[in-house]
Amino acid sequence: MFYMLDTINSAEELCGELSPALRIVGIVYKGIQIVVPIILIIVGMIDFAKAVTEKSEDKIKEAQKKLIAKAIAAVLVFLVTVIVGVLMSIVGNKEYEKCMDCIKHPFDSKQCQASLDD
């Protein structure tokens, strides 16, 4: 394992070697990016509906606050790749972007491979 890392001379070679693993990470992330916000919003709506049926003003306000917090969390989960990309562009170098294409587009093997060939 460590011998392989000694023979890799550039980030492009590293990304090429890790592209299958990066694609799996991308598939898992895309699943999380889609499923988690939907679940958060549905659970928040169910909690809010329960509070409305109880007709308690305090419970409705509490459920409303929880629904807003879950909606914000859902947006943040969805946008985490954008946030990470901005942070990496500030502190990192540009070589990581070739690896990120395999994560951003896990179902498009041609785009992943094209970014590695450039």
Q: How many domains does the chain have?
A: 1
Tens digits of per-residue pLDDT, 42-94? 988 898 888 888 888 888 888 889 888 888 988 888 888 778 777 777 776 66
- Please work out, in degrees rounded to the nearest 5, the angle formed at the alpha carbon of residue 90 by the alpha carbons of 88 and 93: 60
Torsion of the alpha carbons at 109, 114, 115 and 118, rounded to the nearest 10 = 160
Is 71 a domain residue?
A: yes
Is 4 a domain residue?
A: no
Contacts of 80 (CB under 8 A, 6+ apart): 33
CA distances (Å), 27 to each of 20, 78, 98, 115, in order? 11, 14, 17, 18
Q: Determine the structural domain holding residue 71 and report its residue range.
A: 18-117
pLDDT of residue 10: 66
